[in-house]
Amino acid sequence: MTGFDAAYVHDTAPWDVGRPQAAIVRAAETGLVRGRVLDIGCGTGELSLYLAARGHPVVGVDAEPTAVARARRKATERGLDVEFCVADALDPPELGRFDTVVDSGLFHVFDDPDREHYVEVIRSLLRPGGHALVLCFADTASGGGGQPDVAGHINYTDNCKPSISDCQDRIQAAGATVNKINGIDTMHNINLLISTKVDDVRTDNDNGAAAITGGGLDFGANAPSDEVTLTNGTYYLENIDLDDDEKLILDTSSGDVTLAVEGGIRLEGSGSGGGTIEVQGDGSGNIYLHGEDARYGWSDDLQMEENSGVLTPNDNATQFKLYGPDDLSVSVGAGTSNLAKFVGVLFSPPGRSGSARVDIDGGEVYGGILTGTTTIDSGSIHYDEALRNTQVISRDSKVVRVTYLHVTINRIEASSG
């Protein structure tokens, strides 16, 4: 599996914005997209599908099988006829000739020798008088190793300045027309990630094979009746509401378990026990929490009361991740001596305007927190060194060279006693 395909598998691809880039849309609306279209490096297919809906015959190619599978599924769901195929852009199969070739974010991943070859590939695919539309981060490799430099926060693309002069010169020299288009969409990536994931899983999930009824956990269908076990798969839940004697087990012994939760999570507690989410096995449990908690009247999107827990084997924080929007609210503990315990990663970056917060009052967190404000009234945070270098990019991976400094400041308010 390549680094790019892994990003699609784990839904961490920041370039997958869930819609066609506005610059390409403007190009299509002004008539720059003509006739039969090749979307080269199509990803999950949003641009291909947009152009097909406008009446163009479209072929979309991408080297990553996960992205192509999602694109095909979207085409079926939307009733659009688009040919998607897994192919190397530098060595494509016989596809015929095209009036327009569109590249929305592929050119800049190649080093200089591959760029030369890529231009020849585009020329061979274009009909005489054809158009190539290219949107990329950088046009020349100013850094070492042949990769272009990008300044700015790559996850949000706030400050990335696209330019295609180098590509334009090369393709025009090959006899085709290139139009320069500017403007990469700014996005709040975490909110888009959460909403897209929940929407996708709502309609395509493994609920039918699990103890889930009407979007909720069905404890009555299990033995013992106070436990529900979910195995390798992806599940949709409207909410998770566990009483003080109930447990949700994410059994990862045969693979990761992923949940998309529309509403909130409440782990109730008492002096004798608390609701628990427990990861078992060697894999990962992942929850995408949309946080529509208001419909249930809960005070927080994730509400952990006394004695409740989110637990992993040997307190390994790398085995559980909760992703939330930029306004995620979390409370760990209920102000008593019976501590709640959370093991894992809470990931809800607030961006420029979000209000994400974590309040710890009678609770312990083992792992990592990336949020806006963290308040500790009674309890503790134990940052897990095991979270370092959990996703390493190998030397031979083709990625954009990124030059930036990312600083996260956690404001921690702690009361005495």
Q: Are residues 272 and 404 in the same domain?
A: yes
> Whole-prediction pTM value?
0.56
Q: What is the pLDDT of residue 171?
A: 55
Q: What is the pLDDT of residue 137?
A: 55
Picking from 355, 385, 352, 350, the residue whose alpha carbon sits closest to that of residue 370 is 350
Rounded to a whole number of angstroms, the distance between the first and last alpha carbons of the chain is 50
Alpha carbon distance 121, 123 (integer Å): 5
φ/ψ of 4, rounded to 5, equals -65, -45
Tokens describing residue 415: 């009361």
In DSSP notation, 277-314 reads EEEESSS-EEEEE---GGGGT-SSSEEE-TT-EEE-GG
Q: What is the pLDDT of residue 390?
A: 53
Q: Which residue is associated with the tokens 């008593």?
A: 336
| Each residue's pLDDT tens digit, 322-341 | 999 888 999 999 878 889 99
| Each residue's pLDDT tens digit, 24-81 | 888 888 888 999 999 999 999 999 999 999 999 999 999 989 889 999 999 999 999 9
Left (φ > 0), alpha (ψ -120 to 50) or beta: where does 79 sit? left
Q: Are residues 104 and 143 in the same domain?
A: yes
373: burial class by Cβ within 10 Å (0-12, 13-18, 19+)? Answer: middle
| Each residue's pLDDT tens digit, 104-163 | 878 777 777 788 888 889 888 998 888 888 876 544 444 444 443 333 333 323 333 333
Q: What is the tally of structural domains in the chain? A: 2
Share of the chain above pLDDT 90, in %: 39
Q: Are residues 222 and 159 in the same domain?
A: no
Q: Are residues 156 and 173 in the same domain?
A: yes
Give the containing element (helix H, strand E) for 184: none
- Asked if residue 310 has pLDDT above 80, the reply is yes
Q: Are residues 169 and 313 in the same domain?
A: no
Q: Are residues 313 and 370 in the same domain?
A: yes
What is the average per-residue pLDDT within 400-408? 41
More confident call, 188 vs 8: 8
φ/ψ of 90, rounded to 5, equals -85, -10
Q: Are residues 238 and 288 in the same domain?
A: yes
Domain containing 11 equals 3-187
| Each residue's pLDDT tens digit, 209-245 | 888 887 888 887 555 678 999 999 999 999 999 988 8
Q: Are 340 and 364 in contact (CB under 8 A)?
A: yes
- Asked if residue 177 has pLDDT above 80, the reply is no
Amino acid identity of residue 401, one-letter, is: R
Count CB neighbours of 414 within 10 A.
Answer: 12
- Asked if residue 306 has pLDDT above 50, the reply is yes
| Each residue's pLDDT tens digit, 242-278 | 988 899 999 999 999 999 999 999 999 888 889 999 9
Q: Are residues 142 and 213 in the same domain?
A: no
Q: What is the pLDDT of residue 162?
A: 36
Q: What is the pLDDT of residue 203?
A: 85
**In the listed set 147, 172, 187, which residue is the last one of a domain according to the structure?**
187
Q: Are residues 178 and 200 in the same domain?
A: no
Looking at the DSSP bridge assignments, the partners of residue 277 are 248, 310
**In the listed set 134, 162, 187, which residue is the last one of a domain according to the structure?**
187
**In the listed set 128, 161, 187, which residue is the last one of a domain according to the structure?**
187
More confident call, 160 vs 316: 316
Q: What is the pLDDT of residue 267?
A: 93
Q: What is the pLDDT of residue 295?
A: 53
Q: Are residues 163 and 235 in the same domain?
A: no
Return the CATH number at 94.
Answer: 3.40.50.150
Q: Are residues 316 and 361 in the same domain?
A: yes
More confident call, 363 vs 155: 363
The 3-class SS string of 50-82 reads HHHHCCCCEEEEECCHHHHHHHHHHHHHHCCCC
Q: What is the pLDDT of residue 413?
A: 54
Q: What is the pLDDT of residue 369?
A: 87
Q: Are residues 136 and 235 in the same domain?
A: no
Q: What is the pLDDT of residue 167?
A: 52
